[in-house]
Amino acid sequence: MATGTGIAPVRSLVHERLTHPDPAPVLVFFGNRNRDADFFFAAEWQRARDRRDLALFTAFSRDQRQKVYVQDLVRREAPSLARLIPQQPIFAVCGGSTKMADACKNAVFDPFLQAGDEQEQQRLLDAVTWWQEIW
């Protein structure tokens, strides 16, 4: 999950992950203001998506009347993310907004906690790796 130039460290993590012979699912959520001006590494992300190396979700907040942000996409994909939690996934959030990072974490964790036995769900969440590089 990344906004703006926060996509650079995420890109590095994705490159590393895809060197593994059988990589776990890779989901990239990226947001910025405008697709035409701010879609960093667009061709690379599109090629990786076309090869089915990753799932790509983009939010460009200024390209439409109603703003869409990364955390909105994460919230929309929460059921898919919840299915990964028992596999102890690694979540990486990079960008220039603590508000975005907190909203993404809530979008992943809150629905998962509410979906079953809260104590068991919390145990599973405790095994998840959540990295944040926020400035």
The pLDDT score that the predictor gives to residue 69 is 96
Asked if 124 and 85 touch (Cβ cutoff 8 Å), the reply is yes
Whichever domain contains 100, its CATH number is 3.40.50.80
The pLDDT score that the predictor gives to residue 84 is 93
What is the reported pTM?
0.93
Domain of residue 28, residue span: 2-134
- Counting as low any pLDDT under 70, the low residues of the chain are none
Asked if 80 and 86 touch (Cβ cutoff 8 Å), the reply is no
The pLDDT score that the predictor gives to residue 50 is 93
Number of domains in the chain: 1
Asked if 67 and 33 touch (Cβ cutoff 8 Å), the reply is no
